[in-house]
Amino acid sequence: MVKFPYFCLMLSTYLKHPIFKIITRVTEELHIPAFVIGGFVRDIMLNRDNKQDIDIVVKGSGIDFAHHVAGKLKGDIPVKFYRNFGTAMLRYQGWKIEFVGARKESYRLNSRKPIVEDGTLVDDQNRRDFTINAMAIDLTKDHFGDLIDPFNGLNDLKEKILRTPLDPNITFSDDPLRMMRAIRFAAQLDFIIEPVCFQAISRNSERISIVSFERIIDELNLIIQTEVPSRGFKMLDETGLLTIIFPELVLLKGSEVIDGKGHKDNFYHTLAVLDRVAAKSDNIWLRWAAILHDIAKPHTRKYVPGVGWTFHTHEYKGSKMIPAIFRRLKLPLNEKMKYVEKLVLLHLRPIVLAENKVTDSAVRRLLFETGDDIDDLMLLCEADITSKNLQKVKHFLRNFEIVRRKLKEIEEKDRLRNWQPPVSGELIMKSFGLPPSKEVGIIKDAITEAILEGEIPNEFDAAFQRMLLEGKKLGLKEISQ
């Protein structure tokens, strides 16, 4: 045990919290040592905001210890515990405190579920995933604030290196999810994975197949939510993990050349788009739309002599691929998926507008189809302009500004965002004495087209008169009201 004055100075504010004094009192009464360990210690040293999740390791029963702590807190503080895992959790003054008994673990080859036995603090630190997460702070009275750092995690923090406490081959083979966590931490913290560890991830990448996709997607989403997500995806690709967990994305790699003409590497283009979106939005589903916007390009790629490479309908086919991808990756099959489908389907529309004359009709249709997601779609489309030709980029961005102005003008005038036609199907049926039928759809579509084309204003009276006209074309007579 070594005391680091600077380290203790960093901790002083947090160790003054009353929960630590109470834990120290319980260690004295029960004659059981307790330690803060893991992310709380790491994040304080890194001056990160995540300092309210506290992991406490005790020698003995973490559940019993938690109940003793709760008994000394003001108010009726409930303790949630999980007897099978030997863990307990309570919340106090906005802090989430988890308690677990020190333990050692051993693994079987075909499972990531360990065989758990009671152990010492040393055993518990040995089983930790990385040295930066194995540091512990003593909370006993005589050694309060002492740092216990057997693997020199403090130095690894300083050097921004991620390494495992023990042999990385064993660490990653025992619990393959740690490979994803390694890449996630490296991406989050902008750390380097120590070369031997990185090689061990590549060597053991196939072991990720024994991990449930629910656990994998949790880590992948955390990678996607990092400041520069491409860092994590490049590491996933280099280690071979991406091929196993997300093969559709790997298919985007490479550039084929015919007659001296090649197309861009759509894998690295996708990562560039993802980073550009991430720089402007924390919306994870917009980031997923960036990841998937070109996902169908390998299936639509075609070389046309005299024209070059084409990817016709990749936006349509890509949107159709999304439900299967979401289902396999255990992503939500709800409005979040529908949102991603919509953005992938429409992601070329503003680009087409920016290339041509921006007509009111085209803008109305885009607003009608996109609704409240128009701003996200525009952000995605601007991020999609990754050409090395600066003049081309400036041209598109300048035209995008024209599109944005036109969108604002049309929205203010015609109110088409999340728009429903002023005349409903029910009113059409009532007006002409019709049952549900194709004639109702024909009339409703004609009214919608007339408004989108600017032939009539987006108002009830004008739409009602158009309804009567379209009904007359179909030989229908209005029933007197």
pLDDT digits 0-9 by tens, 221-254: 999 999 999 999 999 999 999 999 999 999 999 8
In this structure, are residues 138 and 144 in contact, taking their beta carbons and an 8 Å threshold? yes
Is residue 53 scored above 90 in pLDDT? no
Is residue 377 scored above 90 in pLDDT? yes
Among 15-29, 175-189, 238-252, the least confident range: 15-29
pLDDT of residue 117: 59
In this structure, are residues 376 and 283 in contact, taking their beta carbons and an 8 Å threshold? yes
| Maximal CA-CA distance, the chain | 95
pLDDT of residue 79: 87
How many angstroms separate the CA atoms of 381 and 376, rounded? 9
Using pLDDT thresholds of 50, 70 and 90, give the confidence band for residue 417: low
Distances from the Cα of 58 to the Cαs of 8, 82, 105, 123, 250, in angstroms? Answer: 21, 16, 16, 12, 45
Average of pLDDT values for 38-54?
A: 81
- Do residues 70 and 136 both lie within one domain? yes
Average of pLDDT values for 96-124?
A: 72
How many angstroms separate the CA atoms of 277 and 382, rounded? 9
Name the more confident of 4 and 426: 426
Residue 150 included in any domain? yes
Is residue 397 scored above 80 in pLDDT? no
pLDDT of residue 1: 40
pLDDT of residue 263: 82
Close Cβ partners of 469 (under 8 Å, ≥ 6 residues apart): none
In this structure, are residues 266 and 294 in contact, taking their beta carbons and an 8 Å threshold? yes
**Structural domain of residue 109, as residue ranges?**
5-159
- Name beta bridge partners: 96: 53, 91
Name the more confident of 449 and 202: 202
Residue 480 included in any domain? no
Distances from the Cα of 288 to the Cαs of 187, 220, 299, 347, in angstroms? Answer: 17, 11, 19, 13
In this structure, are residues 116 and 86 in contact, taking their beta carbons and an 8 Å threshold? yes
- Do residues 26 and 89 both lie within one domain? yes
- Do residues 198 and 263 both lie within one domain? no
Using pLDDT thresholds of 50, 70 and 90, give the confidence band for residue 433: confident
pLDDT of residue 251: 96
Residue 206 included in any domain? yes
In this structure, are residues 102 and 124 in contact, taking their beta carbons and an 8 Å threshold? yes
Residue 151 included in any domain? yes
In this structure, what DSSP letter does residue 458 have?
A: S
Dihedral sign, CA of 414, 420, 426, 429?
positive
Is residue 12 scored above 90 in pLDDT? no
Residue 401 included in any domain? yes
What share of the chain in percent tops pLDDT 70?
Answer: 90
Residues 155-177 pLDDT 10s = 999 999 999 999 999 999 889 99
How many angstroms separate the CA atoms of 287 and 275, rounded? 9
Using pLDDT thresholds of 50, 70 and 90, give the confidence band for residue 2: very low
- Do residues 215 and 301 both lie within one domain? no
Is residue 319 scored above 50 in pLDDT? yes
Among 2-6, 230-234, 453-457, the least confident range: 2-6
Close Cβ partners of 29 (under 8 Å, ≥ 6 residues apart): 68
Residue 419 included in any domain? no
CATH of the domain at 24: 3.30.460.10
What share of the chain in percent tops pLDDT 90?
Answer: 50
Is residue 106 scored above 60 in pLDDT? no
Instruction: Return the ∠ at Cα 132 (arms to 129 and 138), rounded to 5°.
Output: 100
Dihedral sign, CA of 393, 399, 401, 404?
negative
Using pLDDT thresholds of 50, 70 and 90, give the confidence band for residue 413: low
Is residue 450 scored above 60 in pLDDT? yes
- Do residues 292 and 402 both lie within one domain? yes
Ranges of beta strands (E only) in 80-183 are: 80-82, 87-92, 95-101, 103-106, 115-118, 136-138, 147-148, 161-162
How many angstroms separate the CA atoms of 113 and 105, rounded? 9
Counting DSSP H helices and E strands in the chain, the numbers are: 25, 15
- Do residues 408 and 264 both lie within one domain? yes
Average of pLDDT values for 378-407?
A: 80
Residue 420 included in any domain? no
Tally the domains of the chain.
4
CATH of the domain at 319: 1.10.3210
Residue 372 burial (C-beta neighbours within 10 Å; 0-12, 13-18, 19+): exposed
- Do residues 202 and 221 both lie within one domain? yes
